[in-house]
Amino acid sequence: MDVLIGRWEMNASFEAGYFGPGTPPITGRGGRTTFEWLKGFLTQRFVNEHPAAPSGIAIIGAGTDPKTFEQHYYDSRGVARVYQMSLDGGPPHCSTSQRAARPAREAVWPAAGQPVTGKRRSS
């Protein structure tokens, strides 16, 4: 997880309709995220300048299985989630499957120097 330590600039892209029927596609810059160690936990703070994108904090700690982690996520919309993360020899992988009414989300960290991508799944 040391590879995440530091301050990162973020860009976000949302497909047409993401924020409701008829809303246009949006690509925004102006987000920042910072990862820091805090006595055995990895903290993540993120700020987004786009009014529709949330800002928040997450705490990452050891999961119940080896090579797994849990991320407890809280944002400015009042959303709280728990993500499961794994390090299984491939790129780090982060996913959640909340209640059936909410799409699952996942992110994959690629090779060093490449951007992190995330997506929202409907299954």
User: Which pLDDT score is estimated for 21?
Assistant: 92
Quick one: tokens of 44?
């993540």
User: Which pLDDT score is estimated for 88?
Assistant: 63
Looking at CATH, the fold of the domain delimited by 2-121 is given as Lipocalin (2.40.128)
User: Which pLDDT score is estimated for 42?
Assistant: 93
At 119, the amino acid letter reads K
Q: Is the separation of the CB atoms in 98 and 115 below 8 Å?
A: no
This prediction's pTM: 0.68
Selection from 60, 63, 62, 64 nearest residue 72 by Cα: 60
Task: Calculate the average pLDDT of the chain.
Answer: 76
Low-confidence stretches of the chain (pLDDT beneath 70): 87-123
Domain ranges in the chain? 2-121
